[in-house]
Amino acid sequence: MASTLYAQLTTPTKLTPLPSRKLSSTLSWRTMFDASTLSPPNFPIISTTKVGKNCSVPKVVCNAQAAPAAVNLAPGTPVRPTSILVVGATGTLGRQVVRRALDEGYDVRCLVRPRPAPADFLRDWGATVVNADLSKPETIPATLIGIHTVIDCATGRPEEPIKTVDWEGKVALIQCAKAMGIQKFIFFSIHNCDKHPEVPLMEIKHCTEKFLRDSGLNHIVIRLCGFMQGLIGQYAVPILEEKSVWGTDAPTRIAYMDTQDIARLTFIALRNENINGKLLTFAGPRAWTTQEVITLCERLAGQDANVTTVPVSVLRLTRQLTRLFEWTNDVADRLAFSEVLTSDTVFSVPMTETYSLLGVDAKDVSSLEKYLQDYFTNILKKLKDLKAQSKQTDIFF
């Protein structure tokens, strides 16, 4: 039976795509393929159900006898609890999840899309790299064989339609995980995604949360506010290079968090059986506006920033214009965050209860001041050393 099941799950299947639809401000998509062509007999059957006010998403209805066969493919060959598949392993968060997992002794497999520059750094760290693509569901099942836990850090590339990876790809991944008997699924979402259905990516995240919950998989959803690492390229580097820093006049406040802390807390949650099925939100110690972040970078860099402020009203107008043309719809969807920036939203939550649940001391979580101070101290020291070396190698005639 095991060999037959292996062949069924690893053989590429014929998919039946539904008619393409334009991405609107709310979701009304059905599954992009017929799950009966992907799943062997007695594996999950997909139907469509209404989820929430604006979401129509597929629903997994699982045969009660399917789970035992899926969890253990053959007698005497149980899946090791330490076997993890990280999806989106080359991203800002994904690579920290991989690094943390390896440091803690997990067997890490990384799902990476075929790319001209291979992800050799993941192999150098000790992870196994497998090529697959969430936008091609037939490539997913083989990556899940022998895996206990899936950690989904993936998101679509800027040049891709949002729905390709972040909705259709995630639906396919969850369906395959259910069919393969994956025992735990961790999904990273966005804080306040349930409050902004007008923003396509946030609506997608919210619907994916619901789809995962309805799938019956043992799961944890972790909502995130913002990454400290993203501020380096956005503000720190341009200030040091005396280039323009782009900002907005928005009052939105974001509690940025170090992705290393996110990865550490994720594995604490993973090992805590009392957190199964819960929705957690991770946030940094303090919420910051764009201007406050720029001011902090200026102080630590010891020089003023050349700030170019883009009014939020301009972003909103640009979004309205790009929605007039089908070939710019994807740009309009990404500009939809301008709607969030005008809503006085605070991307932060009190973390006291979460720290208590995880058994974590708040003092062990990095603050933005400490993170940026370490960065500027290190980079300025390196620049000073390089300058000194260049003077020592000067040749005069």
> Residue 297 sits in a domain of what CATH number?
3.90.25
In a domain, 128, yes or no: yes
Contacts of 271 (CB under 8 A, 6+ apart): none
In a domain, 213, yes or no: yes
Q: Give the pLDDT of residue 115.
A: 79
Residues 316 and 385 in one domain: yes
Residues 104 and 147 in one domain: yes
Q: Give the pLDDT of residue 101.
A: 98
Residue 386 parent element (H or E):
helix 368-392
- Tell me which residue of 147, 155, 223, 156 sits closest to 185, measured CA to CA: 147
For residues 267 and 104, the answer to whether their CB atoms sit within 8 Å is yes
381: left (phi over 0), alpha (psi -120 to 50) or beta: alpha
In a domain, 274, yes or no: no
In a domain, 246, yes or no: yes
Q: Which CATH number does the domain housing residue 92 bear?
A: 3.40.50.720
For 228-238, the pLDDT digits (tens) are 999 999 899 99
Residues 97 and 127 in one domain: yes
Residues 93 and 213 in one domain: yes
Residues 83 and 213 in one domain: yes
Of 175, 207, 223, which residue is a domain's last?
223
| Residue 250 Cα distances to 197, 235, 290, 386, 397, angstroms | 20, 16, 8, 38, 56
Of 223, 240, 268, which residue is a domain's last?
223
DSSP-assigned letter for residue 243: -
Q: What angle do CA 357, 361, 367 make, to 5 degrees?
A: 115
Residues 106 and 154 in one domain: yes
For residues 279-305, one letter each, b for 16 or more C-beta atoms within 10 angstroms of the residue's C-beta and e for the rest, the string is: ebbbbbbebbbbeebbebbbebbeeeb
H helices then E strands: how many in the chain? 16, 13
228: left (phi over 0), alpha (psi -120 to 50) or beta: alpha
Q: Give the pLDDT of residue 324.
A: 45
In a domain, 276, yes or no: no
In a domain, 186, yes or no: yes
Q: Give the pLDDT of residue 252.
A: 84
For residues 331 and 322, the answer to whether their CB atoms sit within 8 Å is yes
Q: Give the pLDDT of residue 28.
A: 34
In a domain, 316, yes or no: yes
Residue 184 parent element (H or E):
strand 184-190
In order along its 397 residues, the chain shows pLDDT tens digits of 333 333 333 333 333 333 333 333 334 333 333 433 333 323 333 344 454 444 544 433 333 233 333 344 444 457 899 999 999 999 999 999 999 999 999 999 999 998 777 789 999 999 999 999 999 999 999 999 999 999 999 988 877 788 899 999 999 999 999 999 999 999 999 999 998 888 888 899 999 999 999 999 999 999 999 999 999 998 999 999 999 887 766 778 999 999 999 999 999 999 999 999 999 999 999 999 888 999 999 999 999 988 877 666 655 555 444 444 444 444 445 545 556 665 667 889 999 999 999 999 999 999 999 999 999 999 988 876 765 554 444 444 3
Six token digits for residue 368: 């933005």
Residues 87 and 219 in one domain: yes
Residues 163 and 199 in one domain: yes
Residues 164 and 231 in one domain: no
Q: Is 92 exposed, middle or buried (0-12, 13-18, 19+ CB in 10 A)?
A: middle
In a domain, 43, yes or no: no
Range of the domain at 189: 77-223
**Structurally, how many domains does the chain consist of?**
2
Q: Is 364 exposed, middle or buried (0-12, 13-18, 19+ CB in 10 A)?
A: exposed
Neighbours of 50 (CB within 10 A): 10
Pairing of strands 55-61, 45-51: antiparallel
For residues 202 and 230, the answer to whether their CB atoms sit within 8 Å is no
310 vs 172: CA distance, rounded Å: 38
For residues 255 and 226, the answer to whether their CB atoms sit within 8 Å is yes
Identity of residue 46 = I
Neighbours of 72 (CB within 10 A): 14
Q: Give the pLDDT of residue 157.
A: 81
Residues 217 and 237 in one domain: no
Six token digits for residue 130: 């497998």
Residues 217 and 236 in one domain: no
Residues 95 and 200 in one domain: yes
For residues 270 and 220, the answer to whether their CB atoms sit within 8 Å is yes
231 vs 109: CA distance, rounded Å: 29
For residues 251 and 216, the answer to whether their CB atoms sit within 8 Å is no
